[in-house]
Structure 1
Amino acid sequence: MQEEKIIVGLDIGTTKVCAVVGRMNEYNQLEILGLGHATSEGVRDGTVSNIAKTTEAIDQAITEAENDSQIEINVVNVGVAGKHIKSFRQHGSITLPHQEDEISVTDVDRLTNDMYRVITEPGTEIIHVLPLHYTVDSEEKIKDPVGMAGVKLEADFHIVTANSNSIRNIKKCIERSNLECDQMMLEPLASSMAVLTEEEKEAGVTIIDIGGGTTDIAIFYDGIIRHTAVIPFGGDIITSDIKQGCAVMQHQAELLKVNFGQSMAVETGDTEVVEIPGINNRTPKEISIKNLAYIIEARMEEIIDLVKAELADSGYFDKLAGGLVLTGGGSKLKNIQHLFEYKIGLDTRIGYPTAFLGKSDRSERVKDPKFSTALGLALAGFKALDQRELDRPRSIYQQPTGGETVPKEPTSDRIKVADTSPARGKNIFSDFLQKAKDLLIDDYDDTEDYKD
């Protein structure tokens, strides 16, 4: 069997659960092997509210992806979102041994790992520790200190936290689906891996992922993540507004939004109408396209105002040469790009996950903003969120791997894939036994020295 690594991204969203199976081809592009998705009924505002329904949707999406790829899925990378997400900055420092000639990756990792011990609000836990810039002795604003000489290493970090119960519920759904979670990643960070280029991150760019329950924001500048935020409004609240404003059923409101919705009422005609069936054989109802646009525009303006406030609070509003990138299912509303440009005053484009995709029939199926998060989660198994990790010499830094899957029983029509993932439980237990053994040996040696 030819060894290769296969990663599965699992996006557990408010409106859909999506699973993407991918691997890197010889051109360093993501080759899509399988895709599965299901309607999500157990997630509200990005947070699991019904374990059974969410598990059922995960099972359906994973089964569809397995059948499409002919690969058994055991391990997944999962996205995290919801209004419970919070972030803050934290300063940390360590003193280096005097005998060390230069700062190593081990020193940088030790400083980063110390941040996971920072005390957070009760009921929350840290999901990301993202370094901003470093200080070596008195030299500040260092992007990567590896290889420099110094005694004291300091850094400012962007720390992202999530509600512990929300994380626990996601893991419970994953376990009930007989899956293992390898990585958990904030969804806008995952989406950024699929739709942003390194040039945009260097110039300064904001990705705005408009999902069903939330609108997620991530700001990059100088190639580094600088700010994250979650706005508790998304496509679902627009659908709810249409339902109330037009006095229609929920599913009719969703169809009106998707098929006839526009973000700018000025772009619609005064006489355009759409007819929808009446309830229980009642007379069909006519809906004005302009009135529909007014409802959507009002809610989108509210969301945009909150986005603009987050940009202002971040301190990077005037540094976004790359402008805004809209992605997620909500970004497919007609004229939404122009509304963002008009209200915020920055260049805006729609982020399609195409830059890192290899050419194939399956790849064509996922070239849609609504799949950005799932594709980014798959890419997370091959790429580093922080480019500085990839720039370091391979001899002193080895990018962690994860999210690998194994094939089903090999048959003539199945893809044969070697299982490159380590036995996680066995390795952890073996490491524990080895450390215990080393401690016993040290104690025995100390006893013998004392006897002598």
Structure 2
Amino acid sequence: MEEKIIVGLDIGTTKVCAVVGRMNEHNQLEILGLGHAASEGVRDGTVSNIAKTTEAIDQAITDAENDSNIEINVVNVGVAGKHIKSFRQHGSITLPHQEDEISVTDVERLTNDMYRVITEPGTEIIHVLPLHYTVDSEEKIKDPVGMAGVKLEADFHIVTANSNSIRNITKCIERSNLESDQMMLEPLASSMAVLSEEEKEAGVAIIDIGGGTTDIAIFYDGIIRHTAVIPFGGDIITSDIKQGCAVMQNQAELLKVKFGQSMAANTKDSDVVEIPGINNRTPKEVSIKNLAYIIEARMEEIIDLIKAELKDSGYLDKLAGGLVLTGGGAKLRNLQHLFEYKIGLDTRIGYPTVFLGKSHGSEKVKDPKFATALGLALAGFKSIDERDKDRPRSIYQQPIHQEEKKRFSTEKEKVVDTTAPRGKNIFSDFLQKAKDLLIDDYEDDEDYKD
């Protein structure tokens, strides 16, 4: 049997990351390769420049291929952005009287009906997630398969995305000569990498702080209950630092990453950092406490929006597992304590190690910023909903020898001549296929005569 290898591709606002993985004998993800590149064509989680995004994908995929010695053809892709919306929908079907019990097929039929629900113009459904079922008069059933009944009903959590945003992601994937197997909401992917089943059962909210957005997913009783997107992330903090400290964008990012803190009370008044002046001008001193005040003010605003979202969901008081912070923005110093102070729930930083096995690449990805890419790789082996007994489609990617790998890399670097006439090639292919069919028919006739 061929070995199943899955590639997760995270197209983020600040980076594009590709993770190549396979499941080992202990049912843990073994990392075979990692590639990442700076993202300059994505804004607020949405592709804004096809060419630059494609270039970043090419770089990340090439690095992952070089690291893993595997030719990548198919990827699982994350979807994010402020265009993401969700709502609840009720559905029902009547079962044939001759059926003895509810089958997986019946549940699938009810779920598939939800993809026909009318959504806002210009949007499409990317996830249909069942909350609970009703069989005849019996309510709040977690899994109805095997039960006897005539009418099957369910409440669903439906996630939609802007159709043009999905098309732009697809264009970038296709221009990189790749195929998308699954498209998954990024906080759901991240949850697969950082949340334990016990946390999902107890009630937990994952807060994925990216560059352009902050994504929320709430689990309770082992089931996804709510998703939301806050249109602010790490980039807006960098912009605040740029304006508040009167520095350049790249200097603001360095200040945030190296010296930034989310609680000004934990800093000293005397601590300063010196920034080189522009074009031999006098170096500029930045107060660490003032830097922390800027970060804290923006983070408090984001946390207030998160708390309001948790309250509106109805699960704020049911999260015994507390909050799990992940994504690149989760690495801000003291952010965990600020969340605990503002929201009043136990909080931890989500490192993607829950299902991660030991491998040569495992240490490199033990970072919250890789949680989404790892989750997308895990999505090829596991389901978001544990009740879903369907196995994911088998997508196999073959290891290649060094000679073939070198040839493949060289071919990918060749520039396609877009001025060459394509009609002749297409027509030639058509003639060849027609010729092959005629030969096959002729041979079949000869066999029949015999």
Provide the TM-score with structure 1 as the length reference. Answer: 0.89
Correspondence for 1:279: 278
Shift of 1:405: 1.9
Q: Residues 69 and 401 of structure 2 are in contact (CA less than 8 Å); yes or no, is this contact kept in structure 1? A: no
Cα gap change, 1:403 to 1:343, in 2 (>3 Å) = farther
Q: Flag structure 1 segments of 5+ consecutive residues without an equivalent.
A: 391-397, 415-452
Give the % identical residues: 88
Provide the TM-score with structure 2 as the length reference. Answer: 0.89
String of CA shifts for 1:336-374, please: whole Å, max 9, x gaps: 000000000000000000111111231000000000000
Shift of 1:3: 1.7
Correspondence for 1:300: 299
Cα gap change, 1:256 to 1:339, in 2 (>3 Å) = same
Counterpart mapping for 1:131-210 below 5 A: 131-210=130-209
CA distance in structure 1 between the aligned counterparts of 2:55 and 2:365, rounded to whole angstroms? 22
Q: Match of 1:188, as an amino acid?
A: P
How large is the RMSD of aligned CA atoms in angstroms? 1.2
Shift of 1:410: 6.6
CA distance in structure 2 between the aligned counterparts of 1:230 and 1:250, rounded to whole angstroms? 25
Q: Residues 323 and 345 of structure 2 are in contact (CA less than 8 Å); yes or no, is this contact kept in structure 1? A: yes
String of CA shifts for 1:160-215, please: whole Å, max 9, x gaps: 00000000000000000000000000000000000000000000000000000000
Q: Residues 8 and 403 of structure 1 are in contact (CA less than 8 Å); yes or no, is this contact kept in structure 2? A: no
CA distance in structure 1 between the aligned counterparts of 2:90 and 2:401, rounded to whole angstroms? 50
Q: Residues 2 and 396 of structure 2 are in contact (CA less than 8 Å); yes or no, is this contact kept in structure 1? A: no
Shift of 1:301: 0.3
Shift of 1:402: 4.3
Shift of 1:266: 0.2
Counterpart mapping for 1:239-278 below 5 A: 239-278=238-277
CA distance in structure 1 between the aligned counterparts of 2:238 and 2:59, rounded to whole angstroms? 25
CA distance in structure 2 between the aligned counterparts of 1:387 and 1:41, rounded to whole angstroms? 36
Shift of 1:389: 1.7
Q: Residues 69 and 402 of structure 2 are in contact (CA less than 8 Å); yes or no, is this contact kept in structure 1? A: no
Correspondence for 1:103: 102
CA distance in structure 1 between the aligned counterparts of 2:264 and 2:110, rounded to whole angstroms? 52
Correspondence for 2:2: 3
CA distance in structure 2 between the aligned counterparts of 1:122 and 1:170, rounded to whole angstroms? 19
Q: Residues 182 and 402 of structure 1 are in contact (CA less than 8 Å); yes or no, is this contact kept in structure 2? A: no
Residue aligned with 2:341, SS: helix
Runs of 4+ in 1 over 3 A off after TM superposition: 409-414
Shift of 1:245: 0.2
Counterpart mapping for 1:223-238 below 5 A: 223-238=222-237
Aligned length: 406
Correspondence for 1:400: 392
Shift of 1:407: 2.8
Q: Residues 95 and 151 of structure 1 are in contact (CA less than 8 Å); yes or no, is this contact kept in structure 2? A: yes
CA distance in structure 1 between the aligned counterparts of 2:395 and 2:205, rounded to whole angstroms? 27
Determine if the alignment matches structure 1 residue 82 to structure 2 residue 81: yes
Q: Match of 1:63, as an amino acid?
A: T
Correspondence for 2:12: 13
Shift of 1:404: 3.3
CA distance in structure 1 between the aligned counterparts of 2:174 and 2:51, rounded to whole angstroms? 12
Q: Match of 2:370, as an amino acid?
A: F
Determine if the alignment matches structure 1 residue 121 to structure 2 residue 120: yes
Counterpart mapping for 1:66-77 below 5 A: 66-77=65-76
Q: Residues 214 and 233 of structure 1 are in contact (CA less than 8 Å); yes or no, is this contact kept in structure 2? A: yes
Q: Residues 353 and 372 of structure 1 are in contact (CA less than 8 Å); yes or no, is this contact kept in structure 2? A: yes
Counterpart mapping for 1:4-43 below 5 A: 4-43=3-42
